[in-house]
Amino acid sequence: MSVINITKGNFDLEVKKADTPVLIDFWAPWCGPCRMLSPIVDEIANEMTGIKVCKVNIDEQPELAANFKVASIPTLALIKNGQLVDTSVGVKPKQMILNMLNR
């Protein structure tokens, strides 16, 4: 499944009302660590079924970043049944992200 870009306009439909867990990558184009994490997130999106993978550009969607209290990027947020269940800040190895998804 491809990565979905999240905005205020599609957040409710794609995240809050999702019937599968949602992994959100909060990032910015100027962020070096974000560019390191992005290919890992893309791999997970292409390899895993039963999960939705999304990205939020914090420069374009500052309200969403504020709603999730994103203080540093990259930040990953795991949403299940419309509720935040886990977060991770910084670049992490793929296996650590997969472990987060399987909790």
pLDDT of 75 > 90? The answer is yes
Examine the pLDDT at 36 and tell me if it is beyond 90: yes
pLDDT at residue 28, rounded to an integer: 97
Q: Is 54 a catalytic residue?
A: no
- With beta carbons less than 8 A apart as the criterion, state whether 4 and 57 touch: no
Q: Which residues contact 36 (CB under 8 A, 6 or more apart)?
A: 91
Q: Active-site residue among 22, 34, 40, 77?
A: 34
The answer to whether residue 34 is catalytic is: yes
Per-residue pLDDT band at 2 (split at 50, 70, 90): confident
Residue 1 pLDDT greater than 90, yes or no: no
Confidence of residue 22 (pLDDT cuts 50, 70, 90): very high
Catalytic residue among 3, 31, 48, 89: 31
**pLDDT computed for residue 102 by the predictor:** 86
| Closest among 6, 4, 5, 25 to 63, alpha carbons compared | 6
